[in-house]
Amino acid sequence: MSDITQVIILGASGDLTARKLAPALFAAFQDGLFPHEVQLVGVARRPWDDAGFREQLIANSPKAKDHQPDKWQAFLANTHYVRTNLETPADFAALAKSLDMLCGGRPADRVFYLAIKPELFLPSVQNLHGAGLLAQEDGRSSRVVVEKPFGTDLTSARYLNGELLKILKENQLYRIDHYLGKETVQNLLVFRFRNAFFEPLWNQKYVELVQITVAETVGMEGGRGGYYDGSGAIRDILQNHLLQLVALVAMEAPSSLAPKAIRDEKVKVLHALRSFADLPDPQANLVRAQYEGYTQEPGVSPTSETETYIATRAYIDNWRWGGVPFLLRTGKHLPSRFTSIRIQFRMPPHTLFGSYQECHLRPNAITLRIQPDDGIDLSFEVKEPGQGLVIKPAKMTFDYAEQFKKRTPDAYERLLQDVITGDQSLFIRSDEVEECWRWADSLREAMAGAPVHQYPKNTWGPQAADGLFGECEGRWLKG
Ligand code: BG6
């Protein structure tokens, strides 16, 4: 067992390092959560030295002024920079030497975090391998963290998996999806499988519809237009973050909390997601749209058809979920930022109060508020006090902040700690990523030729998306 881990960020001059990764490492360091010494090493092409890199971290860390000054100084003192061109193999030999020197010749566990353009994933890993940096000798480990997007479709993801797995073992490869590091997302398994109330109802017999939304108020800020235009809402959010929520909400109980047991169950449910090609009318199950003005954004093609909004009606063809629609939606420039999962229950079997012939807003739902205002709401109906029988909606609410009154760690904090300790439960396995692409590709194929609706910024997207709900199935949540 090594007594030091080097976290080496490739692409350290990018904004992920200063905004997310360095603050996450610092927070864990400040709270004393690391099992041993952790050294941060930034790697990029910019002509910086240690001092220059530290200055960047100080200037761009969102909360640098709130850090405990002595701890922040100690953290920065163990932060280094090695200038490297990721496409030059000789630079990696020099990097290997620098890394050895930085840990004073001690055998170090190494985490290589690829915060770089996807085109550089493979050459960088090949170069790390060429310089002997991925060898796992003398009980020390070497792990590689890959940011999304992992491929752009099933074929490219398979190719990337195939090539990376020629060099790395699956247990060295950490495909990150930061949604899995969110506390509320981790809570999904606890909520479902620790509480006897809900699980018996969590199936097609009682659940009528599941609605999942990732709504964002942001657009193409930070010069993201170029990247986003080649990606779109399906590849940017639906294929990864949103499908991970689907997997956790719909999977069977794993036999244990071992990473393999959890990932096996997730992959089964992703595999059961019905391809759009198997729907009788695929285009009736999707609505794509663009916010007005998108094609004038810097970096975006003026004739772009890239979707900034996508809504779909999906199905999971298995025993638990047969016939239950999963309505999935994500979009940019919507009126509020929220991610939530709403499990909508069927009406009771017999009508005592009012007529069920008419459409009736379904009274029973569990809403899992993933962010912000993390919490859980149970909705039901009660009798209003007074003469006569007037039925009114009511709600029971659980609120994380109110209940626990403590800081919620950022997703990256948890995920980086897991990489350092070697726990892969919250990372995506190769077969999972491929199943997500299989379904996302079928959606993209079905979408070809479908209208590209327009929506004004700061509205809930095109009205056509309401048509994804059946007549009495309800409507999209608005925050
Ligand atoms: C990223 C996407 O993966 O997730 C962004 O590339 C998106 O487009 C972001 O804004 C959303 O993350 P969060 O944690 O703010 O919901």
At residue 25, what is the residue type?
Answer: L
Q: Locate the ligand 1 atom nearest the alpha carbon of residue 411 and give its number.
A: 14
Q: Which residue has the higher pLDDT, 312 or 15?
A: 312
Nearest CA to ligand 1 atom 13: 179
Q: Locate the ligand 1 atom nearest the alpha carbon of residue 339 and give its number.
A: 16
Strand 79-83 and strand 37-44: pairing?
parallel
Q: Is the CB of 147 under 6 A from ligand 1?
A: no
Please give the CATH architecture assigned to the domain spanning 182-410+435-468.
2-Layer Sandwich (3.30)
Q: Give the residue numbers annotated as catalytic, written as ranges.
A: 241
In what order do the strands lie in the sheet containing 365-371?
Answer: 391-399, 375-383, 365-371, 338-345, 207-215, 325-331, 309-315, 286-291, 452-455
Q: Is the CB of 177 under 6 A from ligand 1?
A: no
Q: How far apart are CA 409 and CA 426, in angstroms?
A: 15
Q: Is 415 helix (H, G, I), strand (E, B) or coil?
A: helix
Whole-prediction pTM: 0.94
Domain 4-147 fold = Rossmann fold (3.40.50)
Q: Is the CB of 434 under 6 A from ligand 1?
A: no
Q: How far apart are CA 285 and CA 463, in angstroms?
A: 14
* Tokens at 126, concatenated: 């090949």
* Tokens at 304, concatenated: 């772009």
- What is the per-residue pLDDT across 223-279, written as a single tens digit (0 to 9) for each? 899 999 999 999 999 999 999 999 999 999 999 999 999 999 999 999 999 999 999
Q: How far apart are CA 371 and CA 239, in angstroms?
A: 19
Distance 177 CA to ligand 1 centre (A): 10
Do the beta carbons of residue 29 and residue 38 sit within 8 Å?
yes
The reply to whether 4-147 and 182-410+435-468 are identical in fold is: no
Q: How far apart are CA 95 and CA 9, in angstroms?
A: 12
The domain locations on the chain are 4-147, 182-410+435-468
Nearest CA to 412 out of 147, 178, 62, 143 is that of 178
- What is the per-residue pLDDT across 227-243, written as a single tens digit (0 to 9) for each? 999 999 999 999 999 99
- Tell me the sheet residues that pair with 315: 325
Range with lowest mean pLDDT among 56-65, 101-110, 199-208? 56-65
Distance 179 CA to ligand 1 centre (A): 9
Nearest CA to 211 out of 310, 318, 343, 369 is that of 343
* Tokens at 211, concatenated: 């609605």
Q: Locate the ligand 1 atom nearest the alpha carbon of residue 236 and give its number.
A: 6
Distance 423 CA to ligand 1 centre (A): 23
> What band does 137 get if pLDDT is binned at 50, 70 and 90?
confident
- What is the per-residue pLDDT across 386-422, written as a single tens digit (0 to 9) for each? 998 888 999 999 999 999 998 888 999 999 999 999 9
Q: Is the CB of 216 under 6 A from ligand 1?
A: yes
Q: Is the CB of 410 under 6 A from ligand 1?
A: no
Distance 214 CA to ligand 1 centre (A): 9
